[in-house]
Amino acid sequence: MLPVTLTLDPAFTVGPVRRRTFGSFVEHLGRCVYTGIHDPAHPSADENGFREDVIEMTRELGISTVRYPGGNFVSGYRWEDGVGPREDRPTRLDLAWHSSDPNLVGLDEFMAWAAKTGVEPMMAVNLGTRGIQEALDLLEYCNVPGGTHFSDLRRANGHEEPYRIKMWCLGNEMDGPWQIGHKTAEEYARLAAETARAMRLLDPTIELVVCGSSSSDMATFGTWEATVLAETYEHVDYISAHAYYWEEDGDLASFLASAVDMDHFIESVTAAADYVRAAGKHSKRVNISFDEWNVWYQKRAESKPPTGDDWPVAPVLLEDRYNVADAVVVGNLLISLLRNTDRVHAASLAQLVNVIAPIMTEPGGRSWKQTIFHPFAQASQHAVGDVLQVGIDAPTYGTARFGDVPVADAVATRDPETGAVAIFAVNRSLTETAVLTVDVRALTVSGAGNLEVVESTTLSNPDHTWAATADDSTSVLPRDNDTAKVVDGVLTVEVPPVSWNMLRLA
């Protein structure tokens, strides 16, 4: 077995666990909205047509924030199309995904869904085909109590109280040539700065996310962040980071080490932001909103949009079916986000339902949890208090993409009030069981006695390609791991190859 030692000390923390780390994303893309969260024909549909089974799963998943309505979709979106009587709403072509949108779900419906589900909305404005005035109109509709054109329009539409949305994205992936209204760094920086300035004049309490580069593979990555932040630094709170380029393409060893790449990505965006802070002699610090991340198999057929005269409503798009290895990688990416909680202040797993998602549905029918649902739900529920620095002493293994990497990765959290500790760990080895060892005596609350294991679970399977389906979503779940024990203040646990693991101590 592979020996892995974790070193924890409550005196050394990274920062607080941030609830916004456990956000998600709902875009008008494929079946995420229509037959995903919204399906009036479903037996569980509420009075607004929203699926109650999906709402319950979203709560179980532990989602804190939801980014809406895009994504690439937002860069051609007219928000006014989605408010008012549904019978009067136009059907529009969505150029981003070569689809049609009947606008049956719009801003007011989404806000009703968010309130019922108990999530914080994160709204994106269109800076592709639109600009400052349209962003101000949307903000007025959402946040002004009344007495103005758009706030009174909201009230006339049946929503007397303002929504008071706090988080706003200034466009989406504006450096991408695939983006409607794609701009150079200089063009976008000026538009974003002026939009941010105007929006703050209307509502000084909002928090703003400026677009970072859409991928670290972009030729302008790094210089884009520096150029955009040089213009916008004093007007924004976060810079976005997006990453999807992790997928298993025959190189399982490299795929399992994907969090190495996420760590480097976060380090690079942080360096660019801090360079602007130093060069501009700014006192505040701009942090990261990692508001799109997931495993995504972009070369598969389901990731190819329709073409020609085919502009369907809610086509099957990006409906990846995730296996056990994908779940281990998603769990490891969450470890990376938590490990960087000092600079990553928000994150959004993209997306929530059907589209590269932890939740799947059949139109009018069944819903089920994909493998990636489980590590996210466990971390969201049990990561509480402070994120601890974790020293990891582990053997390494070779990867074609990242060189030699540790066979194990882990993060730990501790509630300073109760002393409860959660450890989230992955074994990246393809073949070998690892034994995790950690001295937990330093983590004991004074006078509270010794820490003991209250829960230990492992998600793994001899066949790492096993994927959940509507017919079988429960054969592979996090199972009790009875090898975990604490003896004389030392915790040990055996974790199988290609596995996600959670330990809770109290």
Q: Which of 140, 173, 248, 494 is catalytic?
A: 173
Contacting residues for 470 by C-beta, under 8 A, at least 6 apart: 360, 362, 365, 366, 368
Are 329 and 255 contacting, i.e. CB atoms less than 8 angstroms apart? yes
Residue in the structure block whose two tokens are 């980071």: 241
Nearest Cα neighbor of 9 from 294, 391, 396 is 391
Contacting residues for 34 by C-beta, under 8 A, at least 6 apart: 102, 104, 105, 313, 314
Contacting residues for 241 by C-beta, under 8 A, at least 6 apart: 212, 265, 266, 269, 288, 289, 290, 291, 293, 344
Cα-Cα-Cα-Cα dihedral sign, residues 141, 145, 148, 152: positive
Q: How far apart are CA 481 and CA 400, in angstroms?
A: 32
Q: Beta strand 367-369 with 359-361: parallel, antiparallel or unpaired? A: antiparallel
Number of H helices, E strands in the chain: 10, 26
Tokens standing for 291? Answer: 């508001």
Are 244 and 298 contacting, i.e. CB atoms less than 8 angstroms apart? yes
Tokens standing for 329? Answer: 């990688």
The three-state secondary structure class of 69 is: coil
Cα-Cα-Cα-Cα dihedral sign, residues 492, 495, 499, 504: negative
Determine whether 80 is an active site residue. no
Are 466 and 382 contacting, i.e. CB atoms less than 8 angstroms apart? no
Are 406 and 395 contacting, i.e. CB atoms less than 8 angstroms apart? yes
Q: How far apart are CA 143 and CA 164, in angstroms?
A: 5
Contacting residues for 269 by C-beta, under 8 A, at least 6 apart: 212, 225, 239, 241, 288
Encode burial over 364-397: b for 16+ CB neighbours within 10 A, e otherwise: eeebbbbbbbbbbbbbbebbbbbbbebebebeeb
Determine whether 292 is an active site residue. yes
Active site residues: 173, 292
